[in-house]
Structure 1
Amino acid sequence: MVMVYTTFPDWESARRIVRALLEKRLIACANLREHEAHYWWEGKIEEDREVGALLKTKIDNWKAVKQFLKENHPYSTPAIIRIDVDRVNDEYLKWLLDVTG
């Protein structure tokens, strides 16, 4: 299992992309949370609101999820961060593997 972390500029784009990933069975689920972001962009410090997404999937889907995000993400330079999960309860992992095929 892996989790993929990314952020979106708004709820609409986050929901649209998460829904597409779910429909393609590339992810089993996603958690979305709005947060305040502080970051460097084009030589200055920016502050904004973003929607953070934690996408849960099997390791075999990592490349496809990453590619889908690169092709469909509204940001020109999105964060697409893979977090390897080395421990997860058996029941959850079974469910995740079942729904992602």
Structure 2
Amino acid sequence: MVLIYTTFPTKEDCVNVCKRLLEERKIACFNIFQIQSGYWWQGRIVEDQEWAAILKTDKFKEDEVFEVLKKSHPYTTPAIISIEAKNVDRDYLSWLIGTISNQQS
């Protein structure tokens, strides 16, 4: 299992991209939440309200998720970060793999 973390400027952008990934079965699940961000951008510190997404998929779909995010992301330089899950409940992992391989829903 792989978790992919990214952020968006608006809830609408976040939901639209996440739903697309879900509908295409590139991910089995997503979680979104509003965050307060601070970062360096173009030589100055910026503070913004953003929307974060955690996308749940497997190692085989990881590159496809990255590709969709890079092509459809509104940011010039989006944070797209993959984190491999060290330990996952077997039943949940089975559901995740079955969902993205279209074996169950």
Q: Does 1:33 align with 2:33?
A: yes
Matched with 1:46 is 46
Deviation at 1:17, TM superposition (A): 0.1
SS at match of 1:64: helix
Deviation at 1:86, TM superposition (A): 1.7
Deviation at 1:51, TM superposition (A): 0.3
SS at match of 1:60: coil
Matched with 1:85 is 85
Query: Following the alignment from structure 2 to structure 1, what is the Cα–Cα distance between the partners of residues 36 and 71?
Result: 25
Matched with 1:73 is 73
Q: Does 1:62 align with 2:62?
A: yes
Deviation at 1:5, TM superposition (A): 0.2
Query: Following the alignment from structure 1 to structure 2, what is the Cα–Cα distance between the partners of residues 55 and 62?
Result: 10
Deviating above 4 A after TM superposition, structure 1's stretches of 4 or more consecutive aligned residues are none
Query: Following the alignment from structure 2 to structure 1, what is the Cα–Cα distance between the partners of residues 95 and 63?
Result: 21
Partner AA of 2:62 in structure 1: W
Matched with 1:98 is 98
Query: Following the alignment from structure 1 to structure 2, what is the Cα–Cα distance between the partners of residues 79 and 97?
Result: 25
User: TM-score, normalized by length of structure 2?
Assistant: 0.95
Cα deviation digits, residues 5-34 of structure 1 (max 9, x gap): 000001000000000000100000011010
Query: Following the alignment from structure 2 to structure 1, what is the Cα–Cα distance between the partners of residues 100 and 58?
Result: 7
User: TM-score, normalized by length of structure 1?
Assistant: 0.99
SS at match of 1:22: helix
Q: Which runs of 5+ in 2 are unaligned?
A: none
SS at match of 2:25: coil
Q: Does 1:16 align with 2:13?
A: no
Q: Which runs of 5+ in 1 are unaligned?
A: none
Query: Following the alignment from structure 1 to structure 2, what is the Cα–Cα distance between the partners of residues 17 and 72?
Result: 7
